[in-house]
Structure 1
Amino acid sequence: MKFFITGSDTDVGKSFVTASLLRAFLEQGAKAVALKPVQTGYAENSRIPDENSRIPNENSRIPNENSRIPNENSRIPKAKSRIPNQSLEPDFKEYIKAGQNADFKATCYTFAYPASPHFSAELEGKKIKARGILDFIEQNLAQITLIEGAGGILVPLNENQSFLDIAKELNAPVILVCKNCLGAINHTLLNLEILRQNSIKLAALILNFHDENDAICLSNQQFLQKKLSCPIITLKNYKNNENYSNSAKDFRAFISKFLDKK
């Protein structure tokens, strides 16, 4: 079975959710893999060494002196930059922490500049093709396949295609990740309308960074529970969550119904 994980915005915790789900499926004995077909802000595509990387990257290209990748005022950290190096850590390293084989190739397109995929690819003189992503996914299917997008469902891959085209072609249930804060209701409902218009099933809504002592968090949860028929899973900002073992527990009830079918 396939799941497509997308977010209501960037930096809402899609990789955290994907890795937690992966860990939950693996703990239950499922043959599960997580894929991140497009990764931007990847150190091996820049001049910045990534000594801890264990992922081989056959498609990487080190920018030369004539590269169009921005240097001045760039989001790519340099030696004296205040931007932490973690901003160039690929999201699929989190899958390894959750238990995925370090030698597994979890991505097919990687780019140095941490931005929208279409822009990052353009800076390197490359182009992302939806067909290439779909072929990559097809070649790496498992009993449970988790496919993480980059940003939100309408993030462009090129001039004409976005992750919405990937989700539609996959015909896979979507897991929508939203940061539970002021604005979460609007962000969630806008995404649900896009999914509805394109006949895409919502498997679950994840309200990330949930705070049970925050009135807005609780109000968002209660309002959306009245609107949605799918499971709504709240995740707090976990500490001491080594290998995602703690956050995986929050997904046990959700994943059990899919494993029962296997």
Structure 2
Amino acid sequence: MENTYFVTGIHTDAGKTVTSAFLQLVLDADYWKPIQAGDLDFGDTDRVKAWTGLPADRYLPERHRLKTPASPHYAARLDGIDIQLSDFTLPPCTRGSAPLIIEGAGGILVPINDRETVADLIKQINVPVILVSRHYLGSINHTLLSIKYLQAMDIEIAGLIYSGGDSPETVRIVGEQTGIWPLVELPEFEELTAAALRKVAEDLRPVIQGKLLNKINLQ
């Protein structure tokens, strides 16, 4: 599916959900969270809805809704479910050929069962990745490891986004060592509101659309 991207992170709290909401606004996309573990009353899909203010029909149902906020393999075991890669195929978007943002669970090596990880799920769905990084002590190591692993798995990296904070040296060394420079750097939101996110999306829309939307025109 053209202009479909799988958003994954260098670790669980890298900022995948905020980035997914940002990308949904910028690309005028639909959104899909294949696995939700825990927070079933107000999960990531609900958060993205609240931050974007987009209609409910722009959100595709989760394939697995697990009760426990834990690694999907363990949360599924507690629910008596064995997650299989064959469970996952790209769902149709609500608007035909609209872009689609897919948000993963945790980082790329989080297990989804006793055999496979989120990286295997990405291979199964077979779409490019947008990797989300965040500036903290140790993030260079985590970012480089994530990039190297995705490359070793022959998974296309469509882009890298830094979520929150500012660290020019991190951006420089990761770019120098991998050749991957950020699509954008999202600010640290003092208060994450729909208005604040929409303002950032409006400011950065031309940059993202110019780099990602190679095959369709949403103007």
Q: What CA distance in whole angstroms lies between the structure 2 residues aligned with 1:195 and 1:90?
A: 27
Residue 55 of structure 1 corresponds to which residue in structure 2? none
Relative to the length of structure 1, the TM-score reads: 0.72
RMSD value over aligned CA atoms?
1.9
Residue 55 of structure 2 corresponds to which residue in structure 1? 101
Distance 1:144 1:133, change over 3 A: same
Residue 200 of structure 1 corresponds to which residue in structure 2? 155
Give the drift of 1:254.
2.1
Where do 5+ consecutive residues of structure 2 fail to align? none
Residue 256 of structure 1 corresponds to which residue in structure 2? 210
Which of 120, 140, 144 is the matching residue for 1:189?
144
**SS of equivalent residue, structure 1 residue 172:** coil
Q: What CA distance in whole angstroms lies between the structure 2 residues aligned with 1:5 and 1:228?
A: 19
> Which segment is superposed worse, 237-246 or 187-196?
237-246
Which of 173, 179, 188 is the matching residue for 2:134?
179
Distance 1:260 1:93, change over 3 A: same
Which of 11, 19, 22 is the matching residue for 1:20?
22
Q: Does 1:118 align with 2:73?
A: yes
Superposition pairs for residues 18-167 of structure 1, below 5 Å?
18-26=20-28, 32-43=29-40, 50=41, 89-97=42-50, 98-103=52-57, 104-134=59-89, 137-140=90-93, 142-167=97-122
Tell me if structure 1 keeps the 8 A contact 2:171–2:181.
no
Q: Does 1:239 align with 2:190?
A: yes
**SS of equivalent residue, structure 1 residue 176:** strand
Tell me if structure 2 keeps the 8 A contact 1:33–1:142.
no
Distance 1:251 1:159, change over 3 A: farther
Residue 221 of structure 1 corresponds to which residue in structure 2? 171
Tell me if structure 2 keeps the 8 A contact 1:208–1:236.
yes
Tell me if structure 2 keeps the 8 A contact 1:2–1:145.
yes
Tell me if structure 2 keeps the 8 A contact 1:177–1:208.
yes
Q: What CA distance in whole angstroms lies between the structure 2 residues aligned with 1:126 and 1:132?
A: 12
Q: What CA distance in whole angstroms lies between the structure 2 residues aligned with 1:110 and 1:12?
A: 22
Residue 125 of structure 2 corresponds to which residue in structure 1? 170
How many residues align structurally?
206
Where do 5+ consecutive residues of structure 1 fail to align? 27-31, 44-49, 51-88, 212-216
Q: What CA distance in whole angstroms lies between the structure 1 residues aligned with 2:118 and 2:86?
A: 12
Relative to the length of structure 2, the TM-score reads: 0.85
Give the drift of 1:101.
2.4
